[in-house]
Structure 1
């Protein structure tokens, strides 16, 4: 088949493009630490110089050639194209000024302690760096703006700035874990200014795994506990945003739950629907007594809020998760490679897509690997089509089952490949 749109061989009944337009809904990036200096107020340059003189890069993959993948625009573009990806949504990865660790997982101190004002300036410097980084490749990067929840007026102002600056990825919603000193997300009245501005501007609200977990120590045991619980903490935001009435009061607001898996969604919707049913109809029960007033004030049940307003950033999606696509919603799934993390499907994304989506209707696959993200984040599929025709995975290749012998060496670093024959669990 040529790129003219005639049907590719091996896919019965399909007559769409030969190659998929792949948009990764979960990538990460940030500036090299010294790059942030020019984005800080001049009054903080001396303070920054003193801080960076003692700064030690906390993770090996932020050093040397591996680290450059976060901020080297040409290198990054080449890596993604080699992996079959034509556009990306970029979450933070590197350490902003005045932070001890990457801001995606590190929890700032309580509002009455520490250096919140400095860290806020550091986040704003990252946001301005991100706007310039995305502008280097127009139409191919959707950067996400970071905020803090300690000062909502400042957060709202920053969201407005980001929207005007062309950061089309929306806002990164931090978690509010116990011990953080932050008002829980289910307290609607407190966060209403945030929801109002996001709905007004039409920007997605992204909740990535990591920030919702309470702080833990640095021992091996702490890290294992964090690893096994971090996604569970992130899932809780879905319940909190429903219970608060946020989704009910702001029906056009769109929420994204990224790098948290996919399989949890159908079961969580069933679980919450069960409680909604008990609270609305089981007269005389404890559930009815506690929850009737709340659920009777809402128009929908939890699964319906999901279907109307929620999306999953399905990082390195597994085959078993793709099988749940109708329960999750084919129009709700947005595949992501997680580039440049250690567990990313990159540079094996072509094989990962084939493993997960073989035998599935290419129209559905096209939505999950690119179309849904393009619609939510404003990517122009017509603009991306010529690039996809050059580098995108072939539809016919993805449609065929992936043979075990075709799994690349080293692919088992990515969870998408775990559990299949020949790959260690």
Structure 2
């Protein structure tokens, strides 16, 4: 399925409806939903450059969804584009081992675009596993673009569960010229006063995504989570960037637990190069590693707030390495640190008045990282300095010892076991 220009506003390559939809081993490439959308023509809602699947149960396995575009040129002053590559709405949805690459929501024009690679809406139970989502763009030029790699949105579903395991989300862009939200992914509720999304996010790599390339606004270079109840474990956020705050992850109105998380070389033009916690969020982090995140006020983490919506961050067994400032805390927010290693971070924390900061078991020294920036080498100052937590494995699945090491990695010396030989006379 290639090179098809859709006459309607949905599904440039494939449009499917039904109670049970199954897609396997398909190549969906270079389709366009709307080639030129002039003012007063076509629809103000354009969805799915490659595939639109609307059903009860939707399963997509081992498909390649490549170089599709929802809108090439739009001169209409308003409108919304959803999903440059694939759009799915259903009760039970599984996307497994797919390649979603090089798709574009809007190439040029005035449309708001959400989900350069994929747009997944109102799904009761969603499984994303072993997918490669790379090089997608929500908005190339024109209006703002949200979720360069993809958007998982909830409007009306009575309950919504998201499980994302072992995906690689890399080199995606929210917007080149205006405000972008979530360079890699945007996940959350899009309507107020509904229960939070239940999100499980394990062993994913979020790499080199950008929320906004040249504009003045943007949040969450790697990922934005809004109104979610989150459990995250074993995830790597590296080299993501944003024009405002939250280079790696931006949390808004969310609560959750993050285990064995690594933030390396993420950037933010304002602050919170690795992480921004905002708008009445409550986040607990266990065994985290922050390394060489920079930009803006040079803080690794930014605790900010809108109006009176203050947030809480609790961190245990953490490494901060090579930041000008570790954590920047605006007024009335709360930060708790239990067992932390500071290295090459001249200002561990900056706190405005009326903040609450608790820190104990602080250590200073060289974590001695391997070349990947987070695995520990012998003589690391992080080895054996942690306190007991419920986390029994590290980012590689190796057991934690007691006392555990700080950060996401647990250092184990290589051991050789020889068989016992007994000689009988």
TM-score > 0.5 by shorter chain: no
Q: Which has the higher strand share?
A: 2
Give the TM-score of the pair, scaled to structure 1.
Answer: 0.31
Higher relative contact order (CA 8 A, sep 6+): 1
TM-score, with length taken from structure 2: 0.31
